[in-house]
Structure formats: C-alpha cells, structure tokens
Amino acid sequence: MTSFAAVSTYLPPSVPISELREESPLDAGMARRFQRFYGLASVCRDPERTEAELLLAAAAKLDGLRGQEERVRYLVQARTFVSSRPDPTSALRYIGRELGLSNATAFSVAGQACASGLQAVDICGRLLAADADPDALALVLTGEKTFTPVARCVPRSNVGGEAAAAVLVRRGGAADGDRVLGRAVRTHGEFHAEAITGAASSAEFNKLYPEALEDVMLAACADSGVTLDDIDLIIPHSVNTISWKAVADRFGFPVERIFLDNIPVTGHCFAADPFINYGTAGQLGRLRPGARYLLTAVGLGATYSAMVVEH
C-alpha cells in the first residue's frame, strides 16, 4: 500500500494571459477565446526562479519532511520535458544537498509527458514496498519552467504555468497518510507526433480524448474497488474548463464535483497539476477524512492516467 504522507505546493504570482503575447504563439484573438470559452484568465510565472528553485520552494513547505530527511531513500523528479533549460544536467543532486537528503538515490521519470507525476508516485510506491526499511520515504517533485514556445502555449488547448508541487510518499495504510487505493494508465501511441510538436488539435485526438479519459478513470475506480459514484471529487489536470465540462456531460458527473478552481489562476502546470489541485483542495477544506478522490493526468503522446486516493 502506498500513501501520500504530505503534499505541498509553490504557486508564484499569476500573470494575465493578455500580457504573454510577446513570448508565445498566443495572439489577441486566441487570448480572448481562451478567456471566454476555456476558462483561462492568468497563469503562474516566476521569471526570477530557476527550475531547481521552484522545486525547492515547494519542498521547503513539506512539514512532514522536517526531521525525516535521513529516511528519504528516493528523490524523484517527474518531468514533462526532457529538459526545460539550455543545460540538460539534472538539478536533483543540488536539490538533494539543499534538503539534506544524504541517503537518497536521485533520478527522473519522463516519457509520459504530463502524466509522469502519477507514474513517479507509482514507481516510488513499488520501490518502497521492496525496501527493507518499512519507514523509508520517497520525495516526488513536479513543476517546470516554460522554456520553449510549445511549453508556453498549446493552441486551442492550454497556456503553460510555472508552479511546483512536492509529494512525500511512504508505504502504509490510511493511518499513515492519504492512501492510494488504485491506479490505471493507458498509452495511445498513435498520437506520438503530438508530443513532438506540442499539438493537441488533430480531429482524431480530440475525438478520442473524452473516451480515453473516461476509460482510464473507470479503470482506476475498478482497480480501487469503487465506482465513479463513490468518488467525492475529481482532482484534474488543469488544461482548460471546456474539456472538463464535456467529460462531465459524458459521464453525467456533476461539474461542481470536479475541482476546476485553479485553472483561471495557475494555467496548466504540466505534471504538477493534480498535486497542486490536491493541495489547494485541502487548503480550501474540500478534502474530507475517509472520502475518495480521483486524480487525473493526460500527457501528449498520448498517455492517460488516473489514481484513486482516500483522504
């Protein structure tokens, strides 16, 4: 059994998307469409911080990490992009030193684009289950810089934001944290070119999207021994509101039970989205003890991922 021992986030100030036209393929007409129909008003941006500093800002707020640094066996960065800076050298060793994680093995998880965050939690759960120390921990870090035009804006889909989340993972049941009940993942490799170009607008992809998302969400529920009716809140990836309203209509699922509060504020913060939304939902009192939450993520390429967590 895998648990979230703690989740923390770092959200930089938000910038109106109307001010981003010079740095991305976001023209005035597209900005108006994003605001009117996609629910995108502003995005998190932090030009002063490097990617490592973004991740450290999130990890520094993990109260559950203080005094437990020696128990962290794995330090993992879940990446959407192979690199989000000119120098592809990993910043994990630096982060490990800053956090005092002297016993941690550091590595990155990629290959599932924005779905890599849920994949990293799953990998850490498997590693911890095999660890001889039942009190061993893993630290998963998510969040990236909008380094390229593709990262800054995907036309007719989303605007990229710079925010970060840190998830302290342990093995154990509900008494030890938010328990992971089950997970599902599906990869539709015929859309591999979408990941290369950053496009998400082909008719085939758009037609498959709600069907594939429904499939993986129901599969995660089945793996958890629950139904969608047992889910108190869907904690989504923050691409846009219009796609989630379409999914809600397809399910017959009340849209007010999908946590969309951050989309107008943060934009799409890559693999960090579900954890940022989980953290914000907790701060707003939307997570109740014993309730079940469905985290989702979709990565261009195209990987669909879902995880059921009991608070």
In the predicted structure, residue 298 carries a pLDDT above the cut 90: yes
Residue the block writes with tokens 């007409």: 29
> Quick one: pLDDT at residue 200?
58
Distance CA(252)–CA(265), nearest Å, equals 26
> Quick one: pLDDT at residue 23?
64
When mean pLDDT is compared across 11-25, 81-95, 243-257, 293-307, the lowest value belongs to 81-95
CATH class as words, domain 177-310: alpha beta
Token readout for 271 is: 């693999």
In the predicted structure, residue 186 carries a pLDDT above the cut 70: yes
**CATH fourth-level superfamily of 2-175:** Thiolase/Chalcone synthase (3.40.47.10)
Break the chain into its structural domains and give their ranges.
Answer: 2-175, 177-310
In the predicted structure, residue 294 carries a pLDDT above the cut 90: yes
Partners of 310 in the β-ladder: 179, 292
Q: How confident is the model at residue 69 (pLDDT cuts 50, 70, 90)?
A: very high
> Quick one: pLDDT at residue 89?
67
Q: How confident is the model at residue 29 (pLDDT cuts 50, 70, 90)?
A: confident
Token readout for 129 is: 């289950």
Distance CA(109)–CA(263), nearest Å, equals 25
Do domains 2-175 and 177-310 share one topology? The answer is yes
Entry pTM: 0.93
Residues 6 or more apart whose CB falls under 8 angstroms from that of 18 comprise 28, 31, 35
